[in-house]
């Protein structure tokens, strides 16, 4: 547990990282460095995207596994890693 | 028949004896009238002449008296009387009679129900009788009657023909076939037959039985009626079978998942079921999750859990998630990704890839200057720092050695001195990966300062380290925890007693099998021993390859030397470095404390093959050129770098820049004429093509920092420098080849050009 917290702190301390959210597969946020409202929004919107992405990968090749997903926007980059029980979101501003 | 009999009844006496029917007839009708009597007489007469055919004449349909007359052989008038009362002279009297007849005849026929006068009655009679000629004819055998015959003849006029026919017609009555309702043919058994007696006896018995049946008490006549059950409708009510449509799509991943899960998770699921009752709800949730995952739905199992389990599950699972291994993996992936984002330009420069310019980043004015600067003219080669491998754990520890992994060139192992040098403090090994520049992937702590390390090439995850207290250990870097140490020579009886200065893996040819090469670990240490380490049956043991003694007695030295007897008490020379020949692994060169280098062979543990003496002071590092297999460099504390060729016992070339201890020298794996040397406070990169007198590139360390370790990166124009702060800085060789002539430089040419420098 402490390791996890430590890692999350380290992630948060990286350059450009705006927020880190850890949520379980049902959409409940476990840890978050953003405000509640934003957290809930992110989680609720990212979850179906994840499901879709995983399904797509499985259809293409069942032996393949989902590692991470990056969504690059104009203002920042959203990195999502996921497993069967949880997923993790990090929002990072790109290095100038 | 009854009707006919009524007529016969009135007739007085003379016709009595013939038929019963006639008597009956007579009895039925007591009253008589003239008309009727007359007709009855006629009827009687006709009765007698039953056998005769007669003809009817329809010309006078009115009365039978006028019509046909039948005479028998004696000439008496035997014309039968008509059965039906003649209608031709209806008088009021007949009306009464008819009513009487009606009453009497009521049973027989429905015709007489009408209250009309006789004519109607008689007409009805006639009709009734006429309508059944054949029928009555059929039964005529047993009965008398000509009446049936006669009646139609008398009253034929009424019904029979609608049109009066001129001539008569024949009525032919014939017998129908016999209708047999039951035919039981008897079984005939001849009296002479064998079983005739038995049959007779049976017959007799049966007759007795039948006769005894009559009055005996055993038998009781009783009739019964089988009941035909009444059908009754009975209704029941049932619940309708609810049908639910259920379908699923068997996608490829679905099949794959259930297939792989059924084979892998069978045991875990069973064990979970066994412990179901004993374990807490947490485990139940896990098994539920796995079960629900098997339903084939890719959607999360949230929808299938009960509401009351929901809360418990989430609470307990939250913590479990965070501590699960998969989560750690994901977090590390996330970290790598984020770091990659940050360091992308640096890594690209490291790998020699073009830097991807971020399309949305703002272009700062400072970077533009740099770009223009690069495009310009010849610039002095510099080391451009890319990034630094540093972490709080390693801060302050002096780096003593670095090495790349043989298989995965992105993994770097760094050995740290624990505490201040000289004190046996727990040392540290960190494995860094290029994918995560911020945090080391593995951290191992050793009981002593690490002095040297090297990855094995046959088992790429094995890392051999030598420590300050003389022990040699092998770590498995795939495992992240404390069980990584595979072998440790602390318990070995023949372990080194002095610091191990270098460990190296080398592929050795097995004597027995010829071609095969087995990798062995060779270490050199301060106790003068070169030992080969083996792992046999989990036992880490060593075999001495050679023991070096300080005295020259056992050496085949150039200077001859005094012959001294072998004496175990003689002090042993510290062997500081060793390097195996890249091609012929049976030969290796060692450098010793007293400045001499020896070429030795594995097969010969007593004598050296050659001795190279040049350095007056300890030889700190020897390295064969990776490209030219017979050239090696040596450095020593006297600040010189010597380039040797194997065969010649004098160095070919010598490089000096500053009077400082050269800690290490490394060839560049990319270019055959480039090597770098690390002095205490500077790094020098020599390019022999460009200059043999001066280093091409000199980089000074920051003040207060001692540079202690050097490494080239294969495939990349970068070097890694480790310093006393515990940081490994990665530098890119910038402008190194700018302005270089196009001809490819060969070391031999360079050496030849030097020519006779020292020979």
Instruction: Tell me the pLDDT band of B615, cut-offs 50, 70 and 90.
Output: confident
Scan for tokens 């590092």, then name that residue. B621
The nearest CA of chain A is from the CA of B499 a distance in Å of 35
Residues of B in contact with A84 (CB under 8 A): 293, 326
Q: Determine the pLDDT at residue B164.
A: 62
With CB atoms and an 8 Å threshold, state whether B333 touches A68.
yes
Contact: B333, A67; criterion CB under 8 Å: yes
Q: A21 and B340 in contact (C-beta within 8 Å)?
A: no
pLDDT of the residue at B516: 61
The verdict on A23 touching B (C-beta cutoff 8 Å) is no
Mean pLDDT of B263-277: 59
* Among B252, B323, B341, beta carbon nearest to A59: B252
CB contact under 8 A, B289 and A26: no
Mutant choice from B291, B292, B300, B309 vs A, greatest count of A C-beta within 10 A:
B300
More confident residue, B275 or B67: B67
DSSP state of B412: E
For chain A, how many structural domains are there in total?
1
Torsion of the alpha carbons at B611, B615, B619 and B625, rounded to the nearest 10: -70
Residues of chain B with pLDDT > 90, as a percent, come to 0
Cβ contact (<8 Å) for B331 and A86? no
Question: A32 CA to chain B: closest CA distance, Å?
Answer: 13
Contact at CB, B332 and A15, closer than 8 angstroms: no
CB-CB neighbors (< 8 A) of A7 in chain B: 328, 331-332, 335
Q: At what angle do helices B252-264 and B281-293 cross, to 10 degrees?
A: 140
- Residues in A touching B361 (Cβ below 8 Å): 94-96
Contact B330 A84 (CB under 8 A): no
Mean pLDDT, residues B156-183? 74
B529–chain A nearest CA distance, Å: 44
Kindly state the tokens that stand for B402: 């670095």
Residue with tokens 């005939």, as numbered in its chain: B188
Mean pLDDT, range B520-547, rounded to an integer: 77
pLDDT tens string B702-728:
887 888 888 888 877 888 888 888 888
pLDDT the model gives residue B756: 54
Q: Give how far A40 is from chain B: nearest CA, Å.
A: 16
Whole-number pLDDT of residue B160: 55
pTM over 0.80: no
pLDDT for residue A51 is more than 80: yes
What domain range is A7 assigned to?
1-95
Chain A residue numbers touching B329 (CB-CB < 8 A):
83
Is the pLDDT assigned to residue B91 strictly greater than 70?
Answer: no
pLDDT at B110 over 50: no
State yes or no: pLDDT of B155 exceeds 50.
no
Residue given tokens 């066994």 in the structure block: B274
The reply to whether residue B334 touches residue A81, judged by beta carbons under 8 angstroms, is yes
Could you report the per-residue pLDDT of B632-656, keeping only the tens digit for each?
888 888 888 888 888 888 888 888 8
Mean pLDDT on B453-469: 85
Residue of A nearest to B323 (CA): A1
Q: What angle do CA B145, B150, B156 make, to 5 degrees?
A: 140
Question: CA B336, CA A14: separation in Å to the nearest integer?
Answer: 11
Q: Chain A window 28-87: which residues touch B at a Cβ cutoff of 8 Å?
A: 28, 30-31, 47, 51, 54-55, 58-59, 62-63, 67-68, 70, 74-75, 77, 79, 81-86
- Backbone φ/ψ region at B384: left (φ over 0), alpha (ψ -120 to 50), beta: beta
Task: Read off the pLDDT band of A66 (50, 70, 90).
Answer: confident
User: Residue B207: phi, psi to the nearest 5?
Assistant: -65, -40
Cα–Cα distance, B134 to B622 (Å, whole number): 149
Cβ contacts of A51 on chain B, cutoff 8 Å: 298-300
> What pLDDT, on a 0 to 100 scale, did the predictor assign at position B277?
45
The nearest CA of chain B is from the CA of A36 a distance in Å of: 17
Q: Using a CB-CB distance cutoff of 8 angstroms, which residues of chain A are in contact with residue B317?
A: 24, 85
Cross-chain CB nearest to B256 (options A47, A62, A81) = A62
**Nearest-angstrom CA–CA distance, B151 and B82:** 5
**Is residue A49 predicted with pLDDT exceeding 70?**
yes
Does residue B29 have a pLDDT over 50?
no
Residue from A65, A74, A83, A91 whose CB has the most chain B CBs within 10 Å, to mutate: A83
CA distance B705 to B726: 10
Measured CA to CA, the distance from residue B235 to residue B698 in angstroms comes to 107
**Least confident span in A7-21, B51-65, B596-610:** B51-65
Cβ pairs bridging A and B (under 8 Å): 129
> Highest mean pLDDT range out of B143-157, B347-361, B541-555, B636-650?
B636-650
Least confident interval from A13-27, B183-197, B331-345, B565-579: B565-579
B362–A96 CB contact, under 8 Å: yes
Q: Kindly determine whether residue A83 and residue B251, on different chains, have CB atoms separated by under 8 Å.
A: no
pLDDT of the residue at B378: 57
Query: Among candidates A80, A85, A77, A16, which has minimal Cα distance to A45?
Result: A80
> B156 is written with which tokens?
């034929």
pLDDT at B194: 79
Is residue B538 packed enough to be buried (19+ CB in 10 Å), middle (13-18) or exposed (0-12)? Answer: exposed
Radius of gyration of chain A measured on its C-alpha atoms: 14
**Range in B182-196, B617-631, B730-744 with the lowest mean pLDDT:** B730-744
Which of B263, B312, B335, B339 to probe by mutation at the A interface, max A CB count within 10 Å? B335
Statement: residue B523 has pLDDT above 70: yes
Please give the average per-residue pLDDT across B348-368, as a whole number: 60
Q: What confidence tens digit (pLDDT) does each residue in B471-500 have?
A: 888 888 887 777 777 777 777 777 778 888
What is the average per-residue pLDDT within B541-563?
A: 50
CB-CB neighbors (< 8 A) of B331 in chain A: 4, 7-8, 11, 81, 88
Looking at chain B, which residue has its C-alpha nearest residue A26? B302
Q: Quote the pLDDT of residue B284.
A: 43
Give the pLDDT confidence score for residue A40 in this predicted structure: 92
Query: Residue B5 pLDDT > 50, yes or no?
Result: no
Q: Residue A95: its chain B contacts at CB < 8 A?
A: 341-342, 344-345, 358, 361
- The reply to whether residue A62 touches residue B364, judged by beta carbons under 8 angstroms, is no
How far is residue A72 from each of residues A80, A93, B310, B333, measured CA to CA in Å? Answer: 11, 10, 35, 17
Whether residue B440 contacts residue B430, with contact meaning beta carbons closer than 8 Å, is answered with yes
Indicate which CATH number applies to the domain containing A83: 3.30.450.30
B302 contacts A25? CB cut-off 8 A? yes
Which of B287, B293, B318, B365 has the highest number of chain A CBs within 10 A, making it the mutation to test binding with A? B318
């Amino acid at each position: 547990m402490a390791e996890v917290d430590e890692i999350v702190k380290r992630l948060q301390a990286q350059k450009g990282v705006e927020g880190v959210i850890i949520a379980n597969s049902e959409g409940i946020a476990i840890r978050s460095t953003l405000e509640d409202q934003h957290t809930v929004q992110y989680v609720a919107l990212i979850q179906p995207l994840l499901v879709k992405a995983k399904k797509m990968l499985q259809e293409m090749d069942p032996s393949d596994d989902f590692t991470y997903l990056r969504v690059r926007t104009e203002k920042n980059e959203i990195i999502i890693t996921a497993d069967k029980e949880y997923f993790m979101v990090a929002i990072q501003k790109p290095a100038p | 028949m009854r009707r006919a009999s009524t007529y016969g009844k009135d007739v007085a006496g003379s016709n009595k004896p013939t038929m019963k029917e006639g008597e009956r007839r007579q009895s039925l009708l007591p009253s008589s009238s003239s008309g009727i009597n007359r007709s009855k007489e006629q009827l009687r007469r006709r009765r007698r002449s039953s056998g005769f055919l007669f003809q009817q004449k329809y010309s006078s349909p009115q009365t039978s008296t006028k019509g046909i007359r039948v005479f028998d052989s004696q000439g008496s008038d035997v014309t039968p009387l008509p059965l039906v009362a003649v209608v031709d002279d209806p008088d009021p009297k007949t009306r009464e009679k008819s009513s009487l007849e009606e009453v009497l005849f009521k049973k027989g026929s429905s015709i007489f129900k009408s209250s009309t006068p006789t004519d109607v009655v008689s007409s009805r009679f006639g009709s009734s009788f006429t309508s059944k000629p054949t029928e009555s004819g059929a039964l005529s055998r047993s009965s008398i009657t000509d009446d049936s015959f006669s009646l139609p003849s008398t009253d034929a006029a009424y019904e029979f023909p609608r049109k009066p026919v001129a001539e008569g017609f024949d009525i032919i009555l014939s017998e129908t076939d016999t209708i047999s309702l039951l035919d039981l043919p008897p079984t005939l058994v001849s009296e002479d037959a064998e079983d005739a007696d038995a049959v007779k006896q049976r017959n007799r018995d049966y007759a007795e039985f039948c006769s005894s049946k009559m009055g005996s008490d055993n038998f009781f006549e009783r009739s019964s009626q089988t009941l035909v059950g009444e059908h009754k409708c009975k209704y029941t009510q049932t619940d309708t079978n609810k049908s639910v449509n259920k379908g699923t799509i068997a996608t490829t991943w679905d099949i794959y998942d259930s297939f792989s899960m059924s084979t892998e998770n069978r045991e875990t699921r069973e064990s979970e079921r066994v412990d179901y009752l004993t374990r807490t709800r947490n485990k139940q949730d896990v098994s539920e999750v796995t079960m629900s995952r098997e339903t084939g739905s890719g959607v999360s199992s949230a929808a299938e859990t009960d509401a009351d389990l929901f809360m418990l599950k989430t609470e307990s699972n939250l913590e479990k998630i965070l501590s699960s291994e998969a989560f750690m993996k994901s977090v590390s992936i996330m970290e790598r990704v984020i770091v990659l984002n940050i360091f992308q330009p640096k890594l690209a420069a490291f790998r020699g890839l073009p830097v991807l310019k971020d399309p949305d980043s703002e272009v700062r004015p400072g970077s533009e200057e740099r770009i223009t600067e690069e495009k310009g003219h010849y610039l002095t080669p510099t080391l451009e720092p890319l990034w630094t491998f540093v972490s709080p754990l390693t801060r302050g520890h002096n780096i003593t050695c670095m090495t790349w992994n043989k298989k995965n060139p992105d993994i770097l192992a760094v050995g740290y001195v624990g505490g201040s040098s000289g004190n046996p403090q727990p040392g540290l090994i960190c494995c860094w990966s290029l994918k995560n520049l911020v945090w080391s992937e593995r951290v191992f702590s050793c009981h002593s300062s690490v002095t040297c390390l090297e990855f094995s090439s046959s088992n790429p995850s094995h890392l051999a380290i030598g420590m300050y207290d003389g022990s040699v250990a092998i770590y498995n870097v795939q495992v992240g925890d404390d069980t990584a140490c595979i072998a440790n020579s602390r318990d070995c009886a023949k372990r080194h007693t002095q610091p191990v200065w270098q460990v190296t893996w080398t592929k050795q040819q097995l004597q027995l099998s010829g071609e095969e090469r087995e990798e062995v670990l060779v270490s050199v240490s301060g106790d003068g021993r070169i030992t080969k380490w083996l792992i046999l049956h989990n036992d880490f043991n060593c075999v001495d390859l050679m023991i070096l003694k300080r005295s020259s007695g056992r050496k085949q030295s150039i200077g001859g030397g005094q012959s001294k007897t072998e004496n175990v008490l003689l002090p042993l020379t510290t062997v500081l470095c060793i390097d195996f020949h890249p091609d012929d692994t049976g030969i290796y060169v060692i450098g010793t404390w007293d400045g001499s280098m020896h070429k030795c062979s594995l097969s010969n543990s007593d004598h050296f093959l050659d001795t190279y003496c040049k350095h007056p002071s300890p030889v700190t590092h020897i390295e064969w050129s990776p490209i030219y297999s017979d050239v090696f460099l040596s450095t020593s504390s006297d600040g010189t770098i010597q380039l040797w060729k194997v065969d010649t016992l004098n160095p070919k070339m010598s490089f000096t820049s500053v009077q400082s201890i050269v800690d290490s020298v490394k060839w560049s794996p990319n270019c055959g004429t480039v090597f770098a040397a690390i002095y205490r406070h500077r790094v020098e990169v020599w390019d022999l093509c460009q200059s043999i007198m001066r280093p091409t590139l000199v980089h000074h360390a920051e003040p207060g920092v001692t540079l202690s370790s050097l490494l080239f990166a294969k495939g990349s124009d970068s070097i890694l420098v480790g310093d006393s702060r515990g940081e490994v800085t990665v530098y890119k060789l910038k402008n190194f080849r700018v302005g270089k002539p196009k001809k490819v430089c060969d070391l031999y040419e360079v050496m030849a050009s030097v020519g006779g420098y020292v020979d």
